[in-house]
Structure 1
Amino acid sequence: MMADRTRALAAALLMSLAPAAVLAQAPAEPAPTETRPPAKTLPEKALPEKALAETAETLPMLNSLGNVPGWRRYKTRFVTDQGRVVDSGNGRISHSESQGYGMLLAVAAGDRDTFQRIWGWTRANLMVRDDALLAWRWEPDKRPAVADMNNATDGDILVAWALAEAGDGWSDESYRLASRRIAVDIARRTVLFRSEGPPLLLPAMNGFSAEDRPDGPVINLSYWVFPAFPRLAAVAPEFDWDRLSAAGRDLLLRARFGEARLPTEWISMRGGQPQPASGFPPEFSYNAVRLPLYLAMAGVGERRYYEPLLALWADADQAGLPIIDTASGAVAGRMNEPGYAAIPALVACAVDGTPLPADLQEPAASENYYPATLHLLALTAANMRYRPCLGR
């Protein structure tokens, strides 16, 4: 489960051959200026992408989930008094991803006290680099607790997104400024804004570029947090976040491997043609399952983005969502906690208007951190964009 995701990232980071220089070529930063309101109708299905992007407006996240029992259980089980968000399925470590998810859910729940607690711990314990990015992993039984100073770009994006939501929702300029600082360094240090070809988002500063790996640059499509990009564009408008988002959507259509036509977790972009990256299992697994969640959260309803997943999930299996070996087409394992099933349900809602099953409208009390997080994010998306699927 989460251990698989962490091992994959750790393995990639260890492959780093040299420190990465600044990767993005972008304008100098100007003076600082800084993942549910009324019911939304279901998105149109046959719109061209340009029209779809215009109709899928950015919606405020504040109070979209509400202080529901699922959130109260979540913060009791996974958020310490100090504000550390605990990954219960992965040795009780914390990482920039868990902190970012916790901050987003606190905004969605309208829980400013918990948001501030999580942000305070994050700032004190993970913002220990020379830039505004976060160290990716904090281990409670190690000293120092941060042994690897590399970042994880998805965690940085989640934290910056949460701060932008909080800044707007609670009219707090300090949150907006913190979001801007992180967003600027994400763009400068982890985005390859190329003069020829679409931009690429690197999973971290070190370990994934063409200088670091023979098959580099290597990407992970689940690090494209699509609903975050409009918020980052608002706080750091000098970077072309729309182009980065469009590049990710295009890659989703191109990185379809094997008979199942699914993306692998780690993808080589050497030569511009996506291929499964060397040194990693060629699997659709715990990372990639977030892709349809992020698309639906961003209001993307076009069936073509979800087609292989709709086929994969057409016949529900009580054993859990399948992990697919894209090389052989075989089922390599199962994501067997119930929270994962909220993602296929959200996809069916976003694409076809299918109501969410009643048993998925409240997270199970026994779920680990990761499926519980994805479950609450799916419910947040449903409340923001797809309320008819909740019977509202």
Structure 2
Amino acid sequence: MTNRLVSAVIGALMMIMASPANAQPVAVTPGTITAAEWSAFKNSFVEGTGRVVDTGNGGISHSEGQGYGLLLAFLANSAPDFDQIWSFTKTELLLRDDGLAAWRWEPGKTPHVSDPNNASDGDVLIAYALSLAGEAWQRADLAAAAQGLIAAIGREVVIPLNSSITLLPAANGFGRDDRPDGPVVNPSYWVFEAFTRFASQDKATDWKALARAGQALVKNARFSERQLPPEWVSLKQRPTPAEGFAVEFGYNAIRIPLYLLRAGIDDPALLRPFAEDAGGAGLSLVDLKTGRTHTTLTDPGYRIIPALVACVLDGTALPEDLLEFTPTAYYPSTLHLLSLAHLRALPGGCA
């Protein structure tokens, strides 16, 4: 009886230690993106002003792209490029009275900011990159900017929900008073690795609770036999696809497993639907009403994500062609570099 009890206690402790709530992010340090890779990305998507150009979206810029640019510049250990991207971001997007960034900037319009609403994922990415760089490069100016933006995110777009909290996609347009099915959220806006860092720097918001809420959302907001989350989810009652949006696993959602992995969350219950299947189909855009794939994603920057999931879960080696970076379009190229950086940071790799 005693031996069985001891075994049960040890087993329970192992389950607790392996649970998502206790997952430890892999170290995010400069140097996991090579100088050649960063140069290729920068030459393709970053103007001399520090504007990150979304080549797949009419050449606009947005807070998400600026945040990704800052994070990639940090991972490449390129402080001058980081400063240039930050200068554009600070001057052109951080114009709102609440401390958040306007999300959309268009080169052919006057004023260039064509939508002053924020996008929470962009704000989180910018704050996260500033925080990392401020600490690693001992830059008080970047650390202070990160602190202010983290506080603004918690104040403006993190709201109570039942006994927990949730993250609105923007300050306007998605809350209980904005929509009949509000609040509406986007599971791909949870940049899980950032929330662990925010928790150590800002006590006004329960960032750990927000991370747990995001994991629960990914686990519970799943539809069709593919068991994939839609991009837009109503949380008015139980999670359901939001009204007025396509019920699909789309381009935003494909980064959800990457965000989980980069935060050290390797729970198979969360990740299995995102893994590359036996036929090699991997992640594609899926109509969640029918469960049918309507777009097959062939860009290496998309294909590497399900391959990385399969590598972490099953030890499946990544195809060799995914280990080399060549710029294609802004978004898949960004995901490709973030995936490679994570793979290189894993102790011993994932296979």
> Same fold, TM exceeding 0.5?
yes
Query: CA RMSD of the aligned region, Å?
Result: 1.8
1:278 is matched with: 243
What whole-Å deviation, never above 9, does each CA across 1:272-300 have from its counterpart, x for those lacking one? x0000111110001011010000000111
Cα distance, 1:254 vs structure 2: 0.6
Identity of aligned residues (%): 45
Equivalent of 1:327 in 282, 285, 289: 289
Question: What is the SS of the residue equivalent to 1:235?
Answer: coil
1:383 is matched with: 344
1:63 is matched with: 30
**2:124 pairs with 1:157:** yes
1:223 is matched with: 189
What whole-Å deviation, never above 9, does each CA across 1:102-140 have from its counterpart, x for those lacking one? 100111111111111100110000001102100000000
Cα distance, 1:230 vs structure 2: 1.2
**2:257 pairs with 1:292:** yes
Contact 1:153 1:203 in 2 (8 A): yes
2:325 is matched with: 363
The correspondence of residues 247-262 of structure 1 with structure 2, limited to 5 A, is 247-262=213-228
Cα distance, 1:362 vs structure 2: 1.6
Q: Aligned partners of 2:102, 2:193: CA distance in 1, in Å?
A: 23
**2:33 pairs with 1:73:** no
Equivalent of 1:115 in 76, 82, 97: 82
2:173 is matched with: 207
Contact 2:274 2:283 in 1 (8 A): no
The correspondence of residues 81-230 of structure 1 with structure 2, limited to 5 A, is 81-194=48-161, 196-230=162-196
Question: What is the SS of the residue equivalent to 1:181?
Answer: helix
2:8 is matched with: none
After the TM superposition, which segments of 4 or more aligned residues of structure 1 sit over 4 Å from their partners?
49-55
Equivalent position amino acid for 2:310 in 1: A
Q: Aligned partners of 1:147, 1:235: CA distance in 2, in Å?
A: 32
Cα distance, 1:89 vs structure 2: 0.7
**Structure 1, 53-62 or 108-117: larger mean CA deviation:** 53-62
Q: Aligned partners of 1:175, 1:374: CA distance in 2, in Å?
A: 24
Q: Aligned partners of 1:48, 1:338: CA distance in 2, in Å?
A: 34
Ranked by relative contact order (alpha carbons within 8 Å, sequence separation 6 or more), the top structure is: 1
Contact 2:154 2:204 in 1 (8 A): no
Q: TM-score w.r.t. structure 2 length? A: 0.92
Contact 1:222 1:290 in 2 (8 A): yes
Cα distance, 1:171 vs structure 2: 1.2
Question: What is the SS of the residue equivalent to 2:253?
Answer: coil
Equivalent position amino acid for 1:95 in 2: H
Contact 2:24 2:265 in 1 (8 A): no
Q: Aligned partners of 1:47, 1:261: CA distance in 2, in Å?
A: 27
Cα distance, 1:51 vs structure 2: 4.3
1:374 is matched with: 335
Taking a change above 3 Å as real, the CA distance of residues 175 and 150 of structure 1, as seen in their structure-2 partners, is: same
Q: Aligned partners of 1:361, 1:68: CA distance in 2, in Å?
A: 15
Cα distance, 1:59 vs structure 2: 4.5
Q: Aligned partners of 1:324, 1:66: CA distance in 2, in Å?
A: 31
Taking a change above 3 Å as real, the CA distance of residues 51 and 303 of structure 1, as seen in their structure-2 partners, is: closer
Taking a change above 3 Å as real, the CA distance of residues 55 and 220 of structure 1, as seen in their structure-2 partners, is: closer
Cα distance, 1:387 vs structure 2: 4.0
Q: Aligned partners of 2:90, 2:77: CA distance in 1, in Å?
A: 21
Q: Aligned partners of 1:267, 1:386: CA distance in 2, in Å?
A: 35
Q: Aligned partners of 1:50, 1:191: CA distance in 2, in Å?
A: 27
Contact 1:97 1:156 in 2 (8 A): yes
Contact 1:292 1:306 in 2 (8 A): yes
Contact 1:210 1:217 in 2 (8 A): yes
Q: Aligned partners of 2:239, 2:278: CA distance in 1, in Å?
A: 26
What whole-Å deviation, never above 9, does each CA across 1:229-254 have from its counterpart, x for those lacking one? 11112221332100000011011111
Q: Aligned partners of 1:374, 1:168: CA distance in 2, in Å?
A: 24
**2:229 pairs with 1:263:** yes
**Structure 1, 331-340 or 124-133: larger mean CA deviation:** 331-340
**2:321 pairs with 1:354:** no
Cα distance, 1:64 vs structure 2: 3.8
Q: Aligned partners of 1:64, 1:56: CA distance in 2, in Å?
A: 23
Contact 2:33 2:72 in 1 (8 A): no
1:314 is matched with: 278
Q: Where does the alignment leave 5 or more consecutive residues of structure 1 unmatched?
A: 1-45
Taking a change above 3 Å as real, the CA distance of residues 58 and 237 of structure 1, as seen in their structure-2 partners, is: farther
Q: Aligned partners of 1:274, 1:87: CA distance in 2, in Å?
A: 31
Cα distance, 1:55 vs structure 2: 6.3
1:343 is matched with: 305
Contact 2:164 2:213 in 1 (8 A): yes
Q: Where does the alignment leave 5 or more consecutive residues of structure 2 unmatched?
A: 1-12
